[in-house]
Amino acid sequence: MTAKYPSARRRLPASALTLSFLLALGATPAFAAEASADGAGDDAASAAVEAAGAADAAGQFDDDVSRGDVIIVTARRRQETAQEVPVAISVIRGDSIEATGNFNVVKLQQLAPTLQVYTSNPRNTSVNIRGLGVPFGLTSDGFEQGVGIYVDDVYNSRVAAATFDFLDVEQVEVLRGPQGTLYGKNTTAGAINITSNQPTFDFEGRAEVSVGNLRYRQAKAAISGPLSDKIAARVAIAATSRRGTLFNTTSDRWINEQDNLGLRGQLLFQPNDDLSITLSGDYSKQDPEGFGTAFVRVGPTQRALARQYDGLVAAYNAANPTRPYAVPSRNVYDRLTDIDASLNAGNKIGGASLRVKWDVGPGTFTSITAWRFWDWKPENDRDFTGLSIVSKSQNPSQQDQYSQEFRYNYEGDRVDFVVGLFGFKQRVDTQGTEQQGADASRWSLTGAQAGIPSILEGLTATNTQYLKSTSAAAYGQLSWKVTDALTIQPGLRLNYDKKTGFYQRIVTNGAGQVLNCTPIPPATSLPAGSVLAAQCGVYQPQLTQPSVSDWNFSYDLNVNYKVARDILAYATYAKSFKTVGINQNGLPLNADNTPNLDASTVKPESVNHYEVGLKTQFLDRRATFNLSAFRTEIKNFQATVNGGQFGTVRGYLANAEKVRSQGIEADFKIVANDRLTAYANGAYTDAKYKKFTNAPCPPELSGGTFQPANAAPDYSQPGVPGALSPRQCDISGQRLPGVSKWAFSYGAEINAPLELLAKEGQLYFGVDGNYRSHWNSNASPSIYTEVKGYALTNFRVGFRSDGVDVFGWVRNAFDVNYIELLQVAPGNTGLIAGTPGDERTWGGTTKFSF
């Protein structure tokens, strides 16, 4: 029997909503119902029982509903209860996101220990799971994301979407491990699935206002209801603003602000119970002055002392005694910077989608058609100092993407399956400019040339580039119930990708003349000490037109066994891939200064993933404990390589021979009673380069001779080991950047009945926190970019009753000093800049709903 569901979600009784909210604070590891649009109205229990499709599931659902802790999930593209899904997943409900102040994916890692998100600006954002996903460093358009970001089933190819505020979100699911046989776009590390609240045929609305220190202001509102008996609509808006967290002594203002606005509208047409059509549109923008960095430290390199940061500053001050240079503070937690280039982070993203769901016989046909755009207008200070070394650095981009997915789900007594087709087309255009400033010669040249500003001042590299990307896939997964306890679940995927790129860099000097750095044999190369040689040593004209296509076949197998009514064991093997990539930021140079065309394309990653897990319920199902262990091995890992020189190459992709990530994850929650709930999640992740012999050298080894793996440089005599700067080092055995070995999150809430202003409700107190052990913030781990571990604690206290919730909050309550990201300044001078994490913040929130 196949149940029919109305596509508009009906509201549960207030008591069930209250208990569901308490459970949500436990960040239950389960996958959310697809778009949460398939709810069951007032008779929620009976519909969900039919969806689960088993007699014992009916009993379980009835028991769970009485405590409000059931979550219907579609991890395998069909409705099931959370603990029946043999997949490692964390779910954070919308109310929990709001209560804990985690308003975007970047902040979400505080609730999901296996998620790592780091950003120096929206474009250069890394979203990883278990240490895997994207190369750590400057972003290139030419590679795929290892962690897919989906909003209402629509794939977002630009990771910039992670920096926007959540907009009318019902819940967020973090899936760990390869996802390819059930999702349109293949991802090797996992997926973040964001589900928004859907239109309803019951009139409802909500509004929320928050204020806090740092001039924090946030407002959200949503309204939903019927336009007729067959058409419903929903509209939502959210706006956030906050003063910056770094004070720029050069511009005399705070930078790194929050300035976000988001809009979403949805229209649902439901002519009958078998068919629903949803048209959605959204638009979000950010326009802060950001994102700048502050001085963190200087570390010795292998360069000559005069060519390291402190030596260069001393030489500058000797030449400019009337205006000597010094950073405003060498303590990053003073939150002072003096960067002098213009800053901007204009960021717009949006699009439209059409989703059709049609119950056909024993299954459901789904079509998702989508268009999305991204418009990025940055301005950066790439030298990280108050000196005019790089006076302009910007790479504005415009992207359009189109996707179409067809999917059919079949549900039977013993066999369920899903099959799908996915098509994707993308174009990204970028117009980049980088320009040398008045102090560039002092910083980048030697001898007499260092004292002649005109050699490099105004030297400009202008690049024009585009990427055309097309992919298509057929995928499917079968679930065979061998017995009532044993299920075997194989899946297959066939994938085709084609990428075509164009990159042209034109170099002009301060007088606007186009430079001709035509490569010539070394024996007749440009004379040493010539102005043209100096200029071409900083920026080289380049033209590349890479093109590549590739087919990939992947598969997975899951076997799960219901050991007892409340114990599920599972094992998974997945053979996956990340498709071929191209280099879009320019190529490294050969010895004769010609582009190394062999680096135009990057081999696809080959992934072998193994995982076992256990899902349990106990204490009359008031508690759950889930455990998973995994090992992921990747050949030809796509990594970022950057020699650290000013302007020559922003960073390009190369293949590390082998990477391995393994670990153990645990999730526990308990709903002790209607008054107390708690959760604790933890992860141990051991992620490292098993073999990477051509990696970029860390700053402590720059300027010296080649160093073998794990070599300990001699810092007692900087500059002595050698005069030539090696381009590559062997970092085999080093840990992957951006991932802590240990990560934990926890939370609890207790409430008591209270009558306030003639309203019956609850007085509640909540606490949540997270801990991350130390991690490294450079593509090649460096002793200078090691980020210390830290623990953050948040509190909230408030009163809620039917339709009203008022609470005060304090985040980072103990005002812990911690670093969000460290960056190695270009030029291999030993300068390290970074972004301190938020200081203690506090405020209040008022929410109304009807």
Give residue-wise pLDDT tens across range 349-399: 999 999 999 999 889 999 999 999 999 999 999 999 999 999 999 999 999
Q: Which residue's structure tokens are 């879009």?
A: 584
Cα–Cα distance measured from residue 155 to residue 149, given in angstroms and rounded to the nearest whole number: 6
3-state secondary structure of 334: helix
Cα–Cα distance measured from residue 771 to residue 769, given in angstroms and rounded to the nearest whole number: 7
Residue type, 317: N
Cα–Cα distance measured from residue 432 to residue 586, given in angstroms and rounded to the nearest whole number: 12
Q: How far is CA 552 from CA 178, 294, 308, 427, 440, in A?
A: 14, 44, 47, 22, 47
Cα–Cα distance measured from residue 621 to residue 450, given in angstroms and rounded to the nearest whole number: 73
Cα–Cα distance measured from residue 220 to residue 165, given in angstroms and rounded to the nearest whole number: 10
Q: What is the pLDDT of residue 103?
A: 79
368 or 172: whose pLDDT is higher?
Answer: 368
pLDDT tens across 688-707, in order?
999 999 888 888 988 764 44
Cα–Cα distance measured from residue 698 to residue 692, given in angstroms and rounded to the nearest whole number: 13
Q: What is the pLDDT of residue 11?
A: 35
DSSP code at position 779: S
186 or 684: whose pLDDT is higher?
Answer: 684
Q: For the chain, how are helix, strand and coil distributed in percent, rounded to 5? A: 10, 50, 35
pLDDT tens across 730-783, in order?
999 999 999 999 999 999 999 999 998 888 999 999 999 999 999 999 988 999
Helical (H) or strand (E) element with 490: strand 486-508
* pLDDT higher than 60, residue 168: yes
373 or 146: whose pLDDT is higher?
Answer: 373
DSSP string, 502-555: EEEEEEE-TT-PBP------GGGPPPTT-HHHHHHHH---EEE--EEEEEEEEE
Q: What is the pLDDT of residue 69?
A: 53
* pLDDT higher than 60, residue 48: no
174 or 521: whose pLDDT is higher?
Answer: 174
DSSP code at position 256: S
pLDDT tens across 454-483, in order?
999 999 999 999 999 999 999 999 999 999
Q: Is residue 499 within 8 Å of residue 548, measured between CB atoms?
A: yes
Choose the weakest-confidence range: 258-272, 507-521, 634-648: 634-648
DSSP code at position 132: B
pLDDT > 70 in the chain, percent: 85
Q: What is the pLDDT of residue 290?
A: 85
Q: Give the number of other CB atoms < 10 A from CB of residue 360.
A: 13
Cα–Cα distance measured from residue 654 to residue 599, given in angstroms and rounded to the nearest whole number: 7
Extract the tokens encoding 86.
């043999």
Extract the tokens encoding 662.
């393994």
The pTM of the full predicted model, rounded to 2 decimals, is 0.87
Average pLDDT over all residues of the chain: 85
Q: Is residue 771 within 8 Å of residue 788, measured between CB atoms?
A: no
* pLDDT higher than 70, residue 844: yes
Q: What is the pLDDT of residue 55?
A: 36
pLDDT tens across 31-43, in order?
333 333 333 333 3
Q: Is residue 632 within 8 Å of residue 608, measured between CB atoms?
A: yes
| Sign of the four-CA dihedral 102, 103, 109, 111 | positive
Q: What is the pLDDT of residue 725?
A: 39
3-state secondary structure of 770: strand
Q: Tell me which range, 67-81, 120-134, 619-633, 819-833, is most confidently predicted by mean pLDDT.
A: 619-633
Q: What is the pLDDT of residue 2?
A: 36
Q: Is residue 572 within 8 Å of residue 556, measured between CB atoms?
A: yes
Q: What is the pLDDT of residue 33?
A: 32
* pLDDT higher than 90, residue 17: no
**Is residue 651 left, alpha or beta, with left meaning phi > 0 and alpha meaning psi from -120 to 50?**
left
Q: What is the pLDDT of residue 70?
A: 59
**Is residue 153 left, alpha or beta, with left meaning phi > 0 and alpha meaning psi from -120 to 50?**
left
Q: What is the dihedral of CA 12, 15, 16, 17, to 10 degrees?
A: 70
Q: Helix 55-67 vs helix 44-52: angle between axes, to the nearest 10 degrees?
A: 140
Q: Tell me which range, 69-83, 178-192, 790-804, is most confidently predicted by mean pLDDT.
A: 790-804
Extract the tokens encoding 288.
């802060």
Extract the tokens encoding 309.
């940061």
Q: Tell me which range, 187-201, 527-541, 581-595, 807-821, is most confidently predicted by mean pLDDT.
A: 807-821
